[in-house]
Amino acid sequence: MVNLTVSLSEETVRKLRRTIRDRYGSRRGALSGLVEEAVLEVLGRLETPNLNERFRALKGGEVLAEADNLDQLALKLRKLNVDARSVRILSSTYLAPVVRAGFRARKT
């Protein structure tokens, strides 16, 4: 374990302590556990690529190029010698798959 000193506003500390008290009670190490859990979650989100949005360039109903952001799409269109103003650019958002779990039964 490593000790780390962090400065937070009084409002944030108040909310943090209230959440810990409601969620974990007065268990020893609850603050450290919650902070570590939150930091690992944020780091995981930052390390994995965000595949929420995809951009496509269409011309005449045909997909000319696809990219994760507009800068990459513009670069691909430049390589194809296509003017970005002559194509239709669509953005699509990936939807998270629906996962259902649990026991299902009917009353007879």
Instruction: Encode pLDDT of 34-80 as tens digits.
Output: 888 888 888 887 777 656 788 999 999 899 999 988 999 999 999 99
Total-model pTM: 0.44
Decide if pLDDT at 87 tops 90.
Answer: yes
Under DSSP, the state recorded for 67 is E
> What element of type H or E holds 11?
helix 10-24
